[in-house]
A = this chain, B = another copy of it.
């Protein structure tokens, strides 16, 4: 039996699953992302975790491995060009080829949000759908586009950057240097910068007290969730702004793409859950050209979306992609 593996490389942890050809999980492992040593240390950690999950599955080898990683990925070559969220990953590194050499398996590499969306498409919230926009709220805001049943890459491999849709010309400064990006309002890191500035200007908030109480050095999704639950005024304002920006930015993209559904995922999106998804859906409505055009649903696979998407991508490496039958009616297009 040709077993597959999916790997989700995150800024703090690495998640691995080993699956049957039909994506049933039969082994998994999880470990911290090396904080030093750069790409070679990450490769060593990946190989150890792959071995662990493979042994758990009782398998001798793996047919293919799909990896989701943060940063700029050259899908065709498996090179991770830049990965600001992985310690010491400053220069392009051929992660795919190196893993192929070490494991003997075929390896594909894609960005983490695309991998997560593929997981949701094959096994999660977007199962059976053909036209879907994925929006991942985390440190930043990432996105992925599924059209006619296939994850879109694009000629520059840059499809899906919904975090850098401009929702306000000349608006708030984004981490990318531009102004008015959706991410500047709805990315966790931007929201933290905003909170620090407003607190420095005298605004009262429990956000940083909660952070310190939990021994953290930044405002995690959990900190935001707890502050919201406690009725923290600043946290509420930041989420209100994030929801308004998300409603406008996502609806704009839906107007151009015409999709059936929007899947909301990512660390912050998943942590804030259904109430956040419902608020984003409501904020989209005034901007939608076709009323109620797209269902808005939360991602269903949680922490495993990226690794399961990696396994789905691995399956595509060894067998042709199966797409659902075309539903488009005949016409002039």
Contacts and interface: CB of A to CB of B under 8 A. Distances in A.
Interface of A: 66-68, 75-76, 108-110, 114-115, 118, 130-131, 143, 145, 147, 150-162, 164-169, 176, 178-180, 244-245, 248-249, 251-253, 255-260, 286-287, 289-290, 293, 310, 313-314, 316-317, 327-333
B147 A328 contact: no
B159 A257 contact: yes
Given A313-B332, A331-B75, A331-B108, A289 B145 contact: no
B75 A332 contact: yes
Tallying the copies of this chain within the complex gives: 2
Contacts of A249: 166, 252
A75 B155 contact: no
Nearest to A165: B252
B256 A253 contact: yes
Nearest to A78: B331
Nearest to A331: B75
B76 A260 contact: no
Contacts of A168: 168-169
B258 A178 contact: no
Contacts of A131: 154-155
B255 A165 contact: yes
Most B CB atoms within 10 A — which of A147, A260, A327, A333?
A333
A72 to B, nearest CB: 10
Given A108-B331, A333-B150, A256 B317 contact: no
Contact of A287 (B145, B178, B287): B178
Given A331-B153, A332-B109, A258 B159 contact: yes
A228 B66 CA distance: 56
B75 A159 contact: no
A299 to B, nearest CB: 18
